[in-house]
């Protein structure tokens, strides 16, 4: 059952990320803006969910697998971040590549922490 929950959640998350990438190309003219927004919102939502679920006394393992591993695991993307940063480096945009990496990791971590604190209050 857990495998199915992870697979269905992953499909949902992947489709959401794909849609965000297409929207980013349309609105910002690039993919890395979408990747950044996906990683930050995904980190925030993961923090909220984990913070919230840890306050519950009921078994949340099925919901955690579906949301945290499935949906949010499929939604966020480290591999795309590395590929886009490599492409920026290859095009000679060292500062953009560095900013892309630092912003994704730093702001993503801050978003996850803020979400965790928020989730504990819900």
- Over the stretch 46-76, which tens digit does the pLDDT of each residue have? 999 999 999 988 888 999 999 999 999 999 9
- pLDDT at position 104: 96
Taking the model in full, what pTM does it have? 0.91
The residue among 73, 80, 72 whose CA lies nearest residue 35 is 80
Name the pLDDT band for 26 (thresholds 50, 70, 90): very high
Total structural domains within the chain: 1
- pLDDT at position 57: 83
Mean pLDDT, residues 93-103: 97
- pLDDT at position 111: 98
Exposure string over 46-75, b if 16+ CB within 10 A, otherwise e: bbbbbbbbeeeeeebeeebbbbbbbbbbbb
Query: Which residue segment(s) compose the domain that 92 sits in?
Result: 2-121
């Amino acid at each position: 059952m857990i495998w199915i929950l992870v697979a269905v959640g992953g499909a949902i998350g992947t489709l959401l990320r794909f849609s965000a990438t297409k929207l980013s190309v349309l609105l910002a003219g690039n993919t890395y803006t979408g990747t950044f927004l996906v990683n930050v919102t995904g980190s925030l939502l993961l923090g909220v969910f984990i913070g919230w679920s840890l306050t519950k006394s009921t078994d949340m393992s099925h919901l955690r697998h579906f949301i945290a591993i499935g949906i949010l695991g499929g939604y966020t993307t480290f591999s795309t971040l590395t590929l886009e940063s490599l492409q920026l480096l290859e095009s000679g945009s060292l500062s953009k590549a560095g900013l892309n990496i630092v912003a994704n990791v730093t702001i993503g971590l801050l978003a996850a922490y803020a979400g965790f604190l928020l989730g504990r209050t819900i």
